[in-house]
Amino acid sequence: MEIRLLTIRALFAFSLSSLAFSSFAGVGEGQELYNSFCTICHGPLGEGQTMGKPLTDGMANRLSDEDLLAVITEGRSGTGMAGWGDSFSDEEIFDMATYVRALQGKAGLNLADDNAGISDDPAVLAGEDVFNGRAGCVNCHTYRDQGGSVGPVLDGLSGRLPAAALSEALLNPSASIVSGFGAKIVEQEDGTQIVGRFRNDSELAVQLQSSDGRRWVTFFKDRVKLIIDSTESLMPDVYASLNALEQQQLLAFLNSL
How many CA atoms are closer than 13 Å to the CA of 74, on its beta-carbon side? 9
Nearer to ligand HEC, 141 or 184 (CB): 141
Cβ 61 to ligand HEC shortest distance, Å? 8
Q: Which residues bind ligand HEC (CB under 6 A)?
A: 23, 34, 37-38, 40-42, 51-53, 55, 59-60, 63, 68, 71-72, 76, 79-81, 84, 96, 100, 107, 135-137, 139-141, 150-152, 157, 161, 166, 169-170, 173, 177-178, 181, 211, 233-236, 238-239, 250, 254
Nearer to ligand HEC, 214 or 225 (CB): 214
Nearer to ligand HEC, 221 or 248 (CB): 248
Cβ 223 to ligand HEC shortest distance, Å? 26
CB atoms within 10 A of CB 103: 24
Nearer to ligand HEC, 32 or 221 (CB): 32
Cβ 225 to ligand HEC shortest distance, Å? 24
Q: Is 99 exposed, middle or buried (0-12, 13-18, 19+ CB in 10 A)?
A: buried
Nearer to ligand HEC, 63 or 221 (CB): 63
* CA–CA separation, 207 and 210 (whole Å): 10
Cβ 1 to ligand HEC shortest distance, Å? 15
Q: Is 178 exposed, middle or buried (0-12, 13-18, 19+ CB in 10 A)?
A: buried
Instruction: Give the pairing type, strands 205-210 and 193-201.
Output: antiparallel
DSSP assignment of 167-199 equals HHHHH-TTTSPPTT--EEEEEETTS-EEEEEEE
Cβ 245 to ligand HEC shortest distance, Å? 14
